[in-house]
Structure 1
Amino acid sequence: MRFKLLKVKYVFTGEGPIKVSYIFPNGDIYEGECSRCAGVMMRSGTGTQTSADGIMYTGEWLEDKMHGRGTLNHPSGAHYEGEFKDNMYYGTGTYTFPDGSTYKGHFNNNRLEGDGSFTDIQGLVWTGEFHGKAALGLKMQHNI
């Protein structure tokens, strides 16, 4: 992604990270750490990217991709907090849907995948094995 430099906040010498603020031609803004690889600046380390349409990611970056722990907020109210790999939900995390229901569990390539629990808007908790949009054999937790 090509970008123009808005300003440089501070620069560390040597091999360490460079702290920057960038504005992209589409209006996205990145503030955080970058590193230089083969003469190209890449988001690496920790930082926040806010898109022109209001999507905000705060967390870890690796080679210009969301990678590690982070939080992604959408203007719709959807919210993800957890692990990322190559710009995708991957590992464990919590996804909150715009209606307030939540899924806590495992993700693979942006999909619900593996053990998890889904809490609906009435507060009922369903646990089991999730596979994308399918979740056969879910069990409802009872509070006694």
Structure 2
Amino acid sequence: MTDDDTEVPGLVRELVTLSRRFRANAERLHPDLSFVDYSLLSELSERDGARAGDLVGLYGLNKSTISRQVTALERAGLLVREPVPGNRRVQLLRPSDRGRELLARADARMYREVDARTAGWSPEEVRALRTLLARYNAAASAVAEDT
């Protein structure tokens, strides 16, 4: 381990704790939204829709897993499929009105949770954490590239 690597085990522990806490919080955001539902609806809302194949690549899951999740969201009335103009074989997935409503409520709860955890932090500290997490999330995974 180099001097820079001595912090990596502690960082990994903190990332695991963050992931576990985020998942636990997301599970209680709304009784009708699981963590996976919340994640998919958030992504579809942020992108203003996406194809199922886009989700396969984004989440690194196989087609059948995404298909099951999308079908469940559609059956629950949280997602709609819309044909892409000019290519009716391709469908764009978007949150339904009900999906957007539940997502908005879940987001509000999540924002309150994060706001409570960062109470007393300066805006610069919150911005720094957001910037570093965005940088971390944007970095390519060397582990995934090695396999």
**TM-score range relative to shorter protein:** under 0.3
- TM (normalized to structure 2)? 0.23
**Structure with greater proportional strand content:** 1
